[in-house]
Amino acid sequence: MSPPVFLAGTDALERDRVLLDGPEGRHAAAVRRLRQGERVDLTDGEGLLAECVVTAADRASLTLDVLARHREPPPAPRLVVVQALPKGDRGELAVETMTEVGVDEIVPWSASRCVTRWRPERRDKALGRWRATAREAGKQARRSRLPEVAELESTEDVAGRIAGASLALVLHEEAEAPLSAVRPPARGDIVLVVGPEGGISEDEMERFGAAGGCPARLGPTVLRTSTAGVAAASVLLAATGRW
């Protein structure tokens, strides 16, 4: 059985002995009930992972000795998924599954046909849920480099990302080119745009096309926006050799 993963600061992981306290320490000690002699992995979420063993435990913290350290290099190419806001809790579902498969950045997008809107007074709370979901899913998936969850972006913001990408793909059910035929670049950002349940508008497609986005068809069926991203990411991660 693989050891559990918890988050700790980079400075702490550079030491030979680590005190894991705060929310992560309380969860490890009080919920997981980890005790002396058990193996634990700690990561800073930025590529550094420390293999540790528990040397002492109390009700709210663990003391651990570092056995070995590993540094995961930055991914190449980097996969960025622009996710139109789904309805209800399907946003967290999309974030969770995309984190599990290995997406490097998730960008919430307020598309014109989104039913859900992050009003200014609710935006921080909604974004916080996405980021918390990515953090917990990353730990569960044993990722030493957690995905970034960006601020909410407009269509103009997304067009700017597309313009700066090494490859930009826009999922669309009427596209002629299948996603499986795409030959991804070896470096830079691959930006994948996933539209809302109502589809990407003609105006948005024109903006993205002008910025360099290429329409691509995922398959013969139409997936929900909350599952299209993880399916498309899987295809691209396999094509890049990261899977």
Question: Of 36-50, 111-125, 154-168, 202-216, which gets the smallest average pLDDT?
Answer: 111-125
- For residue 38, how many C-alpha atoms fall within 13 Å in the half-sphere facing its CB? 18
**Using CA atoms, how far apart are residues 203 and 108, in angstroms rounded to an integer?**
19
What is the predicted pLDDT for the residue at 137?
98
pLDDT of 130 higher than 90: yes
> Which H, E and C letters describe 16-46, residue by residue?
CEEEECHHHHHHHHHHCCCCCCCEEEEECCE
CATH architecture of 5-71: Beta Barrel (2.40)
Give the pLDDT score at 88: 86
Instruction: Return all residues near 163 (Cβ < 8 A) that are at least 6 apart.
Output: 211, 212
Predicted pLDDT at 99: 98
- Output the pLDDT for position 32: 93
Place of tokens 């745009």: 193
Provide mean pLDDT across the span 145-169: 98
* Residue 222: per-residue pLDDT: 85
Query: Where are the chain's structural domains?
Result: 5-71, 78-240
**Residue labelled with tokens 């579902």:** 93
pLDDT digits (tens, 9 = 90+) for 81-116: 999 999 989 999 999 999 999 999 999 999 999 999
SS3 179: helix
pLDDT (mean) for 18-37: 96
pLDDT digits (tens, 9 = 90+) for 170-186: 999 999 999 999 999 99
153 band by pLDDT with thresholds 50, 70 and 90: very high
B/e letters for 219-243, b = 16+ CB within 10 Å, e = fewer, are eeeebebbbbbbbbbbbbbebbeee
Say what the pLDDT of residue 140 is.
Answer: 95
Distance between CA atoms of 188 and 166, rounded to whole angstroms? 5
pLDDT given at position 44: 97
Length in residues, the chain: 243
Check residue 65 and give its pLDDT: 98
Average pLDDT, the chain: 96
Q: Which of helix, strand or coil describes residue 64?
A: strand
What CATH fold (topology level) applies to the domain 78-240?
A: Alpha/beta knot (3.40.1280)
- Using CA atoms, how far apart are residues 147 and 176, in angstroms rounded to an integer? 31
Condensed to tens digits (0 to 9), the pLDDT of residues 49-72 reads 999 999 999 999 999 999 999 999
**Is it the case that residue 1 has pLDDT exceeding 80?**
no
Percent over 90 (pLDDT), the chain: 94
For the segment 224-239, what is each residue's pLDDT rounded down to a tens digit?
Answer: 999 999 999 999 999 9
- Model pLDDT for residues 193-214, shown as the tens digit of each residue: 999 998 999 999 999 999 999 9
Task: Return the percentage of the chain with pLDDT > 70, whole number.
Answer: 100
